[in-house]
Structure formats: C-alpha cells, structure tokens
Copies of this chain bind each other. A is one copy, B any other.
Amino acid sequence: MNATHLVCGGAGFVAQTLNARLLADGGRVIAVDNLSRGKKAYLDGFAASKGFEFYDLDCTNKEALEALAEASGTVGGIGHIWHLAANSDIPAGIADASIDLKDTFLTTFHLAELAKRFAIPELHFASSSAVYGDQGERAIHEDLGPLLPISNYGAMKLASEAQLRAAVEAFLPRADIFRFPNVIGVPATHGVILDFVRKLKATPTSLTVLGNGAQQKPYLHVDDLVDAMLFIASEARSRYNVFNIGPLDAGVTVRFIAETVRDAVSPGAKIVYGSQDRGWIGDVPRFNYDTRRLAGLGWTPKLSSEAAVVKAVAEIAAQESAQKAFQLHRE
C-alpha cells in the first residue's frame, strides 16, 4: 500500500505498530492524536522517518481535520483513514458517559464526515468484541444477534459501526470493521498485564486479583493484530467488511496471566483472588470468539493466547523496568 494514511489515535498503543508497518510498506503516515492516552514519546522512533508527520489534535475537531486534509490534498490526498482513537478506560466511560460519546463515537462521526467531504475512499475502523456484550457460552461470530453491549465503550463502538454502515450506503466506497479482542504488547498503556506488573513492582510479596481468576479471554499480540488489519484491508473484497480478529484458541484465564506475571516479576509472590466472576461492571466473564471468517480469508495468527501473554508479559515488564531506570536516572 503506497498511499497517504491518516492514523487517528496515531500516538496510541496499536498505532505504534501500525505506523511502523505502513511506513515500512512505503506509505506516508499522518498521525493525529489528542494525547489524552497516547504519548508523543511513543513516536520518537518515527521522528527520522521520511513520510511521517504528527499533529496534536482531537479527531472531533472538524476544522482542524479539514485543514489537515486540505493541506495533504495538494500532495496526493488521503487514501486511507485508520481510526484507532477511543477512550480505552472502560470504567471511566461507565462513570461518565460523555467520555465515550466524544472519544469513541464522535471521533467516528467526524472522520466519516471528513471522508465524505474529501472523497477519502477507505476507512478502517478499530471496533471491539465489546459490541457483543455478555453472550455467555455462545460462539461469537460476526453475524450474531442480538448485540448487547454492557459498557458505554461497547455501545459507542456499536454506534460507530452503525454510522459507518450508513456511510457506505450513502457515499463511502469502503469501510473495514475490525472487531478487536483483548490486544497486548507494548507500549502498554492500560490492561490487566500492566496492572499486575505495576502492582507487583509496588508490592513484590503479593498480587491481589479482581474477581476469582476464572475469567477466560482470548488475547492477541499487537504484532498479529496489525498484521490482520493490513491483511483484511488488502484482501477483503466487500464494500463493508466486518471481521473478528483474534487467536484460534479459546483464550487464557486471568489466573494464567497472574501466574505468568508473578513468575516474570516476583516469583515468590502470593496471589490473592476475589470471589466474584466479574472484575468490574462492563467486564465479560467468558468469551468464545469465532474467528473463522478471518481464517477463511487466509489469515492466521503467529501466536496463541498463551504465547501472546508470555511475550507481552516479558515486554511489559521490560518497559516498566526501563521506566523505573529512567525515573531513577532523573532523580
């Protein structure tokens, strides 16, 4: 893909890997991020890259987006929007619905408007398995109904999908909907592995786990995720493509993650579990994620959930040690 890519949420976790791949493929990357969760430091590695630009702006800022598109139009125009911007703090969004409204849905709304105004032909959207909600033991495939999101995050991802579906009917030549599973790797900004690593570094003798540890979820390493996104963008043939992205296995338990983190960070620590099967409102206890549509298209992940967790734990522990060393160095 030799083209100009607008990457929204371009200073976030997934974007770091996506930016690198798009640049390696010869693309031009215009990264946009309001730095509410993303960090400019994540982009240090791209500073020297020809074809990389970063803008500190909010993807709901219509005027600024239009000015950017206008400017980039003179050198070829934007060919792809990659929409990765969202509020990833699910409990914060449940406490204050306006966060997900703005960061998770209105970003989509304004990016679709931008695509309309500047005739941008492809919009690739980071949706989420959270659109399904708690489906119990049902196999979760892309055509499943009813969709019952149990967090504002999931609700606003579903709202975004709906907006894009209508956009495809009216003006947008193509939209890809990537329904992300739990994605792990670095730079980690949130999530259960980072929480556990930080807790154990703060209190090396014990690790307290929300819930009883039996929650089981699929996990995908961010390298596999981005590979799947690029594969779908290249190989899927419909104007509106919805794909679950995930590993082929049924996932790993919170207990497995806790033990992997303990073994890597503080092998002598005691792990203390709660009694509930849910850690917090909006958390889904069990998840049977069907990724056969993507397998049928010809893509398979390199790492299983277990292998992804083992790799990510090592990466995140290293990230946090480096952080610590950096802080000590500054003191």
Contact = CB atoms under 8 A, between A and B. Distances in A.
Contact of A105 (B113, B144, B145, B159): B159
B147 A155 contact: no
A150 B166 contact: yes
A158 B154 CA distance: 13
A43 to B, nearest CB: 31
A29 interface: no
Contact of A159 (B97, B144, B162, B281): B162
A37 interface: no
A151 B133 contact: no
A156 interface: yes
A207 to B, nearest CB: 28
A296 interface: no
Given A112-B97, A169-B282, A145 B143 contact: yes
Interface string A160-199: 0011011101100000000000000000000000000000
Interface of A: 94, 97, 101, 105, 109, 112-113, 116, 131, 133, 142-152, 154-156, 158-159, 162-163, 165-167, 169-170, 240, 242, 281-282
4 nearest A-B pairs in the assembled complex, by CB-CB distance: A145-B145, A159-B159, A155-B162, A155-B166
